[in-house]
């Protein structure tokens, strides 16, 4: 027994500890194997023209995919479903028939490999806002960059199409709150919540919820 225990402990505990120490991903952000990442990098060639080889995006053309708090917020299903079904009415077309499930999973692994910060625990508590106020705020604060209907680039503005049903069906309240509270790292999407040093249009937590309620009520 004395001899057995230490070796048993080493066999089981060391890999478990190494894994726990290394993993920055949430359960729904599985990073994929090195083989999947390598295959995904090749398959991603069809995406690079719009999103950039390193996922930096192109202002007004295609969003940044290597933004750290965004990657730390979205689950793999958000990435896979967006690639599979696209965002109807935008230049992001559906890739399901063109690529197939394996290539899509591999691309998700490749995009996930850009994440270097820890997966975020999002605030998914029930919304406590005011719909009418949300409509006003969206018009005054968001519409210039995202379009009055949230059509984004397709409306000739700088931000992405956050009014689309295809986006809102995948974007949880927690993701939308994170983007408004902190901004989307390394993009012109700044923090909009109170105390932000960069933005004049300070929103309270209730305002943020109101804007989300407005977006959801008008999803198209």
Interaction site with ligand HEC (CB under 6 A)? 46-47, 49-51, 57, 62-65, 70, 79, 82-83, 87, 90-92, 95, 107, 141-142, 144-146, 152-153, 158-162, 164, 167, 176, 179-180, 184, 187-189, 192, 211
Nearer to ligand HEC, 18 or 148 (CB): 148
- Answer positive or negative: Cα dihedral of 186, 188, 189, 194: positive
CA distance 152 to 188: 14
Taking the complex as a whole, how short is the minimal distance between the CB of residue 10 and ligand HEC, in angstroms? 41
Question: In this structure, are residues 110 and 40 in contact, taking their beta carbons and an 8 Å threshold?
Answer: yes
CA distance 63 to 61: 7
Task: Tell me the CA distances in angstroms from 118 to 50, 62, 66, one per residue in order.
Answer: 27, 25, 14
Question: Please, which residue, 10 or 148, has the CB nearer to ligand HEC?
Answer: 148
> Cβ 137 to ligand HEC, closest distance in Å?
6
Backbone angles phi, psi at 26, to 5 degrees: -70, 165
Closest distance to ligand HEC from the beta carbon of 88 (Å): 9
If the CB atoms of residues 23 and 84 are measured against ligand HEC, the closer one turns out to be 84
Closest contact distance (angstroms) between CB of 126 and ligand HEC is: 18
Dihedral of the CA atoms 121, 125, 128, 131 (nearest 10)? 80
Nearer to ligand HEC, 6 or 163 (CB): 163
Give the nearest distance from C-beta 108 to ligand HEC in angstroms: 8
Output 19 or 46, the one with its CB closest to ligand HEC.
Answer: 46
Helices (H), 89-160: 96-99, 101-112, 131-137, 143-146
């Amino acid at each position: 027994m004395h001899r057995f225990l230490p070796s048993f402990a080493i066999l089981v505990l060391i890999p478990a500890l190494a894994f726990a120490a290394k993993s920055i991903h949430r359960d729904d952000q599985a990073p994929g194997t090195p083989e999947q990442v390598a295959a995904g990098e090749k398959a991603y060639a069809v995406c690079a023209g719009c999103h950039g080889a390193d996922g930096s995006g192109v202002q007004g053309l295609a969003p940044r995919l290597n933004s750290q708090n965004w990657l730390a917020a979205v689950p793999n299903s958000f990435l896979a479903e967006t690639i599979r079904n696209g965002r109807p009415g935008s230049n992001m077309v559906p890739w399901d028939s063109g690529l197939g499930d394996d290539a899509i999973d591999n691309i998700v692994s490749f995009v996930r490999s850009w994440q270097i910060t820890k997966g975020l625990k999002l605030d998914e508590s029930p919304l406590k806002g005011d719909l009418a106020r949300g409509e006003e705020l969206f018009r005054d604060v968001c519409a210039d960059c995202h379009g009055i209907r949230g059509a984004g680039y397709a409306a000739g503005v700088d931000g992405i199409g956050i009014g689309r049903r295809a986006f809102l069906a995948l974007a949880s309240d927690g993701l939308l709150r994170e983007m408004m509270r902190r901004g989307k790292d390394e993009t012109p999407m700044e923090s909009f919540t109170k105390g932000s040093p960069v933005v004049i249009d300070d929103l309270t937590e209730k305002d943020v919820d109101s804007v989300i309620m407005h977006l959801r009520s008008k999803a198209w």
